[in-house]
Amino acid sequence: SLLPVARGLALAVSPHAAPAELRARVIESVTGAPLPDPADDGGRSEPVDEGGSAGPADGAGITAPAAGAGDRPPLLETPLPPAPTPPLAPTPPYDGREQPASEPTEQEPTPRMPKPPPGAQKKGGRWALLSLAAGGLVVAAGLGLFAARQANLAAALQENLDAANTQARIAELEAAAAQRVADGIRGGARVLTATDVQPLDLAGQPVAPDARGRLFWSATEGGLLTATGLPPAPPGRVYQLWLIPDASPLSAAILSADPEGRVMATVTPPEGVTGPVPAAVTLEPAGGAATPGGEVYLLGRP
């Protein structure tokens, strides 16, 4: 700004009375009205008294500007010299050392959110724990339901497997029984069609008076026993056929009666028996006995 420079110049110059010409130019520049030409009144001007009377003012009146003064430029349009620029401080030479970091400028503090009251934090923590516990219960219930369904499914599969195994076992037993029946029928057919077949009737004894039996004998095809009217054997007991060529009975077959008391079984003759001999059917322990010890149900002699 030029204002400080102007103030400095004003203080540096000693005050003195301005020339009349300079005063006239200043007044003309400020008011904008031209002063009367001194040529109009004979080249002179009379000073105006402060009371209104014309006349000289002790030699201090303002005189009109001289001829040719109108060609000079106004005083206020003269440019002032530029203000001197203060010299810059010399930059010290770089000595290879790191310069200390400039101190950080002070920044505005970061606004912080107000902390919730302690009661709100406790309530929030309590609700979080309750939510977590509820979620755990839901997950546990879901897992329990899934486990129960899996257990039920496994139990159902096991039951189906057991039923299938039972049915397979029953089918095997039925197939075995059918095979035995078929074998007995085929064996019995061979015995019955043999040319040397000889029948032996067996009569029911007092424990089974309605029972009847017949033993077909062939020296080439073996024997065939058929019986009816036998009572069902008690649990753990079976019927057993004995051939008695002499005083020592010989086991010939273990018999199995159906629910109606019917029996059909092929008989393999013991060693030494070549023809019809006395025969008997007794009730013995399961698996058979070495010698007859139970009650006699059927008995026959040639």
Considering the chain, what percentage of its residues have pLDDT values greater than 90?
A: 25
Query: Which amino acid does the sequence have at 76?
Result: L
Phi, psi of 25 (to 5 degrees): -65, -40
* Mean local confidence (pLDDT), 45-66: 44
Instruction: Determine the pLDDT at residue 89.
Output: 59
Instruction: Say what the pLDDT of residue 242 is.
Output: 94
Closest CA to 219 of 236, 194, 201: 194
Average pLDDT, the chain: 76
Q: Is the pLDDT of residue 223 over 80?
A: yes
Check whether 137 has a pLDDT greater than 50.
yes
23 vs 56, more confident? 23
Strand segments, DSSP code E, in 138-249 are 198-204, 212-218, 222-228, 237-243
What would the pLDDT profile of 115-135 be if each residue is shown by its tens digit?
A: 666 665 566 677 777 788 888
Mean pLDDT across the stretch 150-162?
A: 90
Locate tokens 């003309």: which residue? 28
pLDDT digits (tens, 9 = 90+) for 234-250: 999 999 999 998 878 99
The residue with tokens 């129960």 is 148
Residue 53 scores a pLDDT above 70: no
Say if residue 48's pLDDT is above 70.
no
Q: What are phi and psi of 4, to 5 degrees?
A: -60, -35
Average pLDDT in the 216-230 region? 90
Checking if the pLDDT of 63 tops 60, the result is no
